[in-house]
């Protein structure tokens, strides 16, 4: 899902508006989802840089369920090009005990 640039109801340009100035449709929920997805995408990049490939894949996947930001798609494509995700990437939570 690409970022919503125009109101799907009346086609007015939205920019960053949460409410369409022409028809009054409220997009605050979808805008919030876009922001959350972008935040998850940044977390996925950080995880990928730290070598936490499994976590990065899961985080990027969660982002795409919200809004599919390009950054999350790039993380997923990077992981795909690197090949299979290794289970050794996952930190074993039992190691903390």
Residues that bind Zn ion (CB under 5 A): 7, 9-10, 12, 20, 22-23, 25
Take residue 82 and report the two structure tokens written for it.
Answer: 């690197």
Crossing angle between the packed helical segments 28-49 and 53-66, to the nearest 10 degrees: 170
Q: Nearer to Zn ion by C-beta: 12 or 54? A: 12
Q: How far is the CB of 10 from Zn ion (least distance, A)?
A: 3
Q: How far is the CB of 4 from Zn ion (least distance, A)?
A: 11
Q: How far is the CB of 36 from Zn ion (least distance, A)?
A: 23
C-alpha to C-alpha distance for 31 and 33, rounded to whole angstroms:
5
Take residue 54 and report the two structure tokens written for it.
Answer: 């499994």
């Amino acid at each position: 899902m690409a970022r919503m640039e125009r109101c799907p109801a009346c086609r007015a340009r939205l920019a960053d508006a949460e409410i369409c100035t022409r028809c009054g449709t409220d997009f605050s929920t979808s805008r919030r989802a876009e922001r959350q997805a972008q935040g998850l995408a940044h977390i996925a990049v950080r995880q990928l840089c730290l070598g936490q490939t499994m976590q990065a894949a899961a985080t990027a996947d969660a982002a795409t369920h919200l809004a599919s930001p390009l950054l999350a798609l790039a993380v997923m494509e990077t992981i795909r090009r690197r090949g299979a995700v290794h289970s050794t990437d996952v930190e074993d939570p039992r190691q903390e005990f």
